[in-house]
Structure 1
Amino acid sequence: MTHHAECDTEDLSQRVVLVTGPSGAGRSTVIAALEDLGYETIDNLPLSMVPRVLDGPVLQPIALGIDVRNREFSATRLIELIDRLTREPKIQLEVLYMDARPDVLQRRYSETRRRHPLSPDDAPEEGILREIDLLVPIRARADILIDSSAMTVHDARAEINQLFDQRKTAGLAVSVHSFSYKRGVPRGLDIMFDCRFLANPHWQPELRPKDGRDAAVADYVTHDPRYREFFDRVMGLLLFTLPAHVEEGKTHLAVGFGCTGGKHRSVALTESVSGALAEAGWHVSKRHRELERRGLELPASGTGNGA
């Protein structure tokens, strides 16, 4: 009886997707795509109104678009709101950050001849750089980051469908994160593995400039005699527990791999584990926090289902 009561409580939780990012990166496209998926969407809602909107009966998932046009916007206030909603047991919050390179944002503004909200009387590039700088702490707090630089509108909508379609993600969506322990543990991890015991490519001069997505780095990490047993045990644990999380009604599980710099070993493990989970049929996304901080080019975050 206790088991059923817990499931009922979980079922009453409100899924909330907070969509933000620099102007021109695709936030409006995402809001429209989520609306088509059955989400109740509200764009540019004042921050002070968000708790009131969510303080009601659970009817359908909600997507809230928030950007610098909001008259109450500040990075500090938005982080405070994220912290507040994260602490609410009946709210399942996901922060989706739509990003794009500055040169891409500038080109998009030039093509549409729109004025940037932070530089209405100046060249768009000034407002773009100012906004990117303003949003740095928000970007670091995102649960899902999508770089739309190389995406068409259709690509962006397909990515959102893959990540947020209730028919596909009903059950469980898994996100796999790499990070550096020196910069702290990412917010919201459910399970965390320390891979600092593995051989470190950093001490190999030819591998140091590369990261764990590079085949030579991955090969170096996997040739540590302890790697295979570690990988097999991690996968065994995940594949054993994931169905149980589904039974409990959980919709998202965040798994983290940490190493010293967050560039080699944790990235290689995140790549291999996310790939193996996708091959096993789970809906998986991945994020490399320290590579994102360094501004290194990353592919779209979703690995799909069985991709």
Structure 2
Amino acid sequence: MADKRANRVVMGEPDQSSEPAKPQSRILLVTGMLGAGKTTALRELEDLGWESIDNFPIRLLDRLVGGDGNDHPLAIGFDCRTRGFVPAEIIEQVKRWVEDDGLAITTLFLDCAGHELERRFNETRRRHFLAGDLPVSSGIAAERELLAPLRRWADVLIDTTDFSTNDLKQTIREQFRQTAPQQMTVTVSSFGFSRGKPPTADLVFDMRYLDNPHWEESLREQTGLDAPVGEFIERSAVFASTFDKIRALLLELLPRYAEQGKAYVNIAFGCTGGRHRSVYTAEKMAQVLREGGFSPTVLHRNLGSRAEDLVEGTQQP
């Protein structure tokens, strides 16, 4: 899949060597053929942290772009339906903006083969804006002729003919995530099964296979944050080997989640009461993830509960 997408990105990352070191505003103009994926691209950019505006009137662009500088990147979508859409005039307008050293402007053009655009229009039963009473192929041909100057002039050209929606999203991430201010948020949490599993957890690890410190009189009122509890858990014959396996799994999965554009990942460790085994493991795993380049937030759902309030039952895990 990666090779297919690479072959369809006709032009790569825009050359940033001539851009100012600290531009006041970063602007991405997103245009292209109707049905080629502009809406999907704008939504993905929004998920990456860009402010996104679609079909903004061309005559108002000067006021929007020429406003006070903003560190937040801005993506502006427009196409043949946009009021005041004249490609030659848009190109000249952008050239004037580029003369302003406070602006870093990139133009993205989304293209698609005519036969695939026809299929998409027929599948969704939408009428092409320029077709009128003629077949959709006539509207596509007229639009392609109208947009030809923008296509030739664009900094980045992506052909979505063979793309699924997910392919386009991943390509947008690869092209523009370096300028996105947000990164994937990782949360490592502990909880007690006696109070129910956390509904938002993506990955749940059950630590009840370990000996329970609750049944040690001297450890019952302590928690996984206390050294004696940690020492008790570490003495388990299986803790080290299982912890290493979980660590290896997470260090492999988290980068893959990031590649897929997942914004939040919640890793939850559970034990019976949520005060000993799960707390210690969550703290230890968070430290490992920090060493692996992540910045996890640590939450302990049931740490504040009193030991006698938890449903430990008989001496079971």
Aligned to 1:86: 98
Q: 1:18·1:94 contact (CA, 8 Å) conserved in 2?
A: yes
Aligned to 1:150: 162
User: Which residue, out of 116, 120, 127, partners 1:104?
Assistant: 116
Aligned to 1:50: 61
Secondary structure of the structure 2 residue equivalent to 1:83? helix
User: What whole-Å deviation, never above 9, does each CA across 1:91-124 have from its counterpart, x for those lacking one?
Assistant: 1111000000111111110101101111133221
Aligned to 1:65: 77
Secondary structure of the structure 2 residue equivalent to 1:162? helix
Aligned to 2:131: 119
User: Which residue identity does 1:11 align to in structure 2?
Assistant: K
Q: Provide the rounded CA distance (Å) in 1 between the counterparts of 2:118 and 2:147.
A: 17
Alpha carbons of structure 1 residues 131 and 10: separation in structure 2 relative to 1, 3 Å: same
Q: 1:45·1:70 contact (CA, 8 Å) conserved in 2?
A: yes
Displacement of 1:10 in angstroms is 3.1
Secondary structure of the structure 2 residue equivalent to 1:165? helix
Q: 2:73·2:180 contact (CA, 8 Å) conserved in 1?
A: no
Displacement of 1:11 in angstroms is 1.9
User: Which residue identity does 2:44 align to in structure 1?
Assistant: A
User: What whole-Å deviation, never above 9, does each CA across 1:186-208 have from its counterpart, x for those lacking one?
Assistant: xxxxxxxxxxxxxxxxxxxxxxx
Displacement of 1:142 in angstroms is 0.5
Q: Provide the rounded CA distance (Å) in 1 between the counterparts of 2:109 and 2:97.
A: 17
Q: 2:48·2:181 contact (CA, 8 Å) conserved in 1?
A: no
Q: Provide the rounded CA distance (Å) in 1 between the counterparts of 2:181 and 2:72.
A: 15
Which stretch of structure 1 is more off in the superposition, 72-81 or 156-165? 72-81
| Cα RMSD for the two superposed structures | 1.8
Alpha carbons of structure 1 residues 85 and 134: separation in structure 2 relative to 1, 3 Å: same
Secondary structure of the structure 2 residue equivalent to 1:134? helix
Q: Provide the rounded CA distance (Å) in 2 between the counterparts of 1:45 and 1:63.
A: 11
Q: Provide the rounded CA distance (Å) in 1 between the counterparts of 2:30 and 2:37.
A: 10
Q: Provide the rounded CA distance (Å) in 1 between the counterparts of 2:90 and 2:170.
A: 27
Q: Which portions of structure 1, spanning 4 or more consecutive aligned residues, are displaced by more than 4 angstroms?
A: 167-170
- TM-score of the pair, normalised by structure 2: 0.49
Which stretch of structure 1 is more off in the superposition, 118-127 or 157-166? 118-127
Q: 1:162·1:168 contact (CA, 8 Å) conserved in 2?
A: no
Q: Provide the rounded CA distance (Å) in 1 between the counterparts of 2:112 and 2:171.
A: 15
Secondary structure of the structure 2 residue equivalent to 1:10? coil
Q: 1:37·1:166 contact (CA, 8 Å) conserved in 2?
A: no
Q: Provide the rounded CA distance (Å) in 2 between the counterparts of 1:78 and 1:101.
A: 24
The gaps in structure 2 that reach 5 residues or longer are 1-19, 183-317
Q: Provide the rounded CA distance (Å) in 1 between the counterparts of 2:74 and 2:105.
A: 10
Displacement of 1:166 in angstroms is 3.2
Aligned to 1:23: 34
Secondary structure of the structure 1 residue equivalent to 2:141? helix
Aligned to 1:5: none
Displacement of 1:53 in angstroms is 1.1
User: What whole-Å deviation, never above 9, does each CA across 1:248-290 have from its counterpart, x for those lacking one?
Assistant: xxxxxxxxxxxxxxxxxxxxxxxxxxxxxxxxxxxxxxxxxxx
1:213-292 correspondence runs (5 A): none
Q: 2:49·2:181 contact (CA, 8 Å) conserved in 1?
A: no
Secondary structure of the structure 2 residue equivalent to 1:159? helix
Q: Provide the rounded CA distance (Å) in 2 between the counterparts of 1:93 and 1:131.
A: 24
User: What whole-Å deviation, never above 9, does each CA across 1:129-153 have from its counterpart, x for those lacking one?
Assistant: 0000111111010100000000000
Secondary structure of the structure 2 residue equivalent to 1:11? coil
1:131 to 2:148 alignment = no
User: What whole-Å deviation, never above 9, does each CA across 1:55-77 have from its counterpart, x for those lacking one?
Assistant: 12314000000100012011122
Q: 1:116·1:128 contact (CA, 8 Å) conserved in 2?
A: yes
Identity among equivalent pairs (%):
36
User: What whole-Å deviation, never above 9, does each CA across 1:8-66 have from its counterpart, x for those lacking one?
Assistant: x7324311100001101111111111011000011001112112112123140000001
Aligned to 1:41: 52
Displacement of 1:169 in angstroms is 10
Aligned to 1:231: none
User: Which residue identity does 2:146 align to in structure 1?
Assistant: L
